[in-house]
Amino acid sequence: MANVAVIGAQWGDEGKGKVVDWLASRADLVVRFQGGHNAGHTLVVGDQTYKLSLLPSGLVRGKLGIIGNGVVIDPEALLSEIARVRAQGLNVSPETLRIADNATLILPLHPAIDRAREASRGDSKIGTTGRGIGPAYEDKVARRAIRVADLAEPETLSAKLDELLLHHNTLLAGLGAPVFEKQALLDRLLELAPLVLPYAEPVWERLDDARRAGKRILFEGAQAVMLDVDHGTYPFVTSSNTVAATAASGSGMGPASVGFVLGIAKAYTTRVGSGPFPTELLDATGRLLGERGHEFGTVTGRPRRCGWFDATLVRQAVKVGGVQGLALTKLDVLDGLPELNICTGYRIGGEIFRRLPASPRAQAAAEPVYETIEGWTDSTRGARSWADLPAQAIKYVRRIEELVEAPVTLVSTSPERDDTILVRDPFEG
């Protein structure tokens, strides 16, 4: 049996949480490997709705959850989220959740820097969540980050805070924002240490033991390929690599352990925040997609921009993300639309492109080239087999397969976990 890595194939918010939750019934461990609490997954289980940001979705299935070293962790946000889901009845304890001891921490100064810099950009805002994700990754790369293991060493914390504050207070002062005092930060970290450290361990050892024992591992990505810091619509991207290769480096396992790569894509396209969006609809159809799909960010609550399915974008995500199969979500949102458009390329300066160029100027100028497909009148909501789908809906799915050059292995037809058409079990490889 293969391991499975789940990544987004658009700009995030594709419904990864439901798919990971659904796949977790076949897994033994679920691993988050990048991002922070700027990403969110919504899981609907019966009459309960769980909104997760840092916690691996597999916890809802009673599976062991692991937060890998590739994740940046705000300890306050983590403990708050644990308390919230415990109140909903989930068992979250050091027996069910493990955290990489070499993961980077987000401190209060990180969101302060994030917000101050975003405000200074004026009309050129990137659209960050202001939660300090980017600045924390910057500290990690600059080798001045405080990591989970450092919470056990007060002297290490004190020395590292000196270096951090020398850097960040200078920036904050330059941006006209309040600066931070060392003692208050140190005192708070020492208060948090006994609450966080019981979860910490070198998770790479546990994962290696699981691999040797033949356990099934599900790797859970955040955001999506088009928000990847290298391969996305830079600079309107997140601060980590979101492609499947990061499942290895962000968990402490070798690349051969990643297994089958499942890309998640909506049957249309959405985006939160700023940046290019060639197929965006600013008309009644765009508003209809947003209303039907309840398109609001899980973490931010911001309304998502909506548009037609962009096959050119997803094909590019398939190639650079290593996607071997596609999970198509929210097919039911398209029910009843007389015609559907699929973007098959971009017109930029009179030339047709079958990829999204790296240049921000070219991305902003890209105009979609559409192929029009007849819609369907019968409902797809709740369908659990191909036989339950209208013929025209199947035709739409098949055309997407052709254009993105990847098979659709799973179709989701409602937020409910069991309203899913399984074409191929990813764990079968």
Give the E-state strand segments of 56-197 in sequence order. Answer: 64-67, 72-73, 97-100, 104-105
Among residues 254, 222, 229, which one has the least CA distance to residue 67?
222
User: Which residues contact residue 275 at a Cβ distance below 8 angstroms, ignoring those fewer than 6 apart?
Assistant: 11, 126, 127, 233, 236, 237
R_g (Cα) of the chain, nearest Å: 21
Question: How far is Cα 246 from Cα 224, in angstroms, rounded to an integer?
Answer: 12
Question: How far is Cα 397 from Cα 286, in angstroms, rounded to an integer?
Answer: 20
Active site annotation includes 41: yes
Q: Mapped to the 3 state alphabet, what secondary structure does 314-330 carry?
A: HHHHHHHHCCCEEEEEC
Catalytic residue among 37, 41, 110, 168: 41
User: Which residues contact residue 181 at a Cβ distance below 8 angstroms, ignoring those fewer than 6 apart?
Assistant: none
- Cβ(147)–Cβ(107) under 8 Å? no
The alpha carbon of 74 is separated from its chain's Cα centroid by a whole number of angstroms, namely 16
Q: H or E element: which one contains 119?
A: helix 109-120
Among residues 192, 7, 207, which one has the least CA distance to residue 100?
207
Active site annotation includes 110: no
- Cβ(358)–Cβ(378) under 8 Å? no
151 burial (CB, 10 Å; 0-12 / 13-18 / 19+) is buried
How many helices (H) and strands (E) the chain has is answered by 12, 20
Q: Which residue has the tokens 């897994």?
A: 27
- Cβ(311)–Cβ(344) under 8 Å? yes
Q: Is 152 left (phi over 0), alpha (psi -120 to 50) or beta?
A: alpha
Known catalytic residues?
Answer: 13, 41
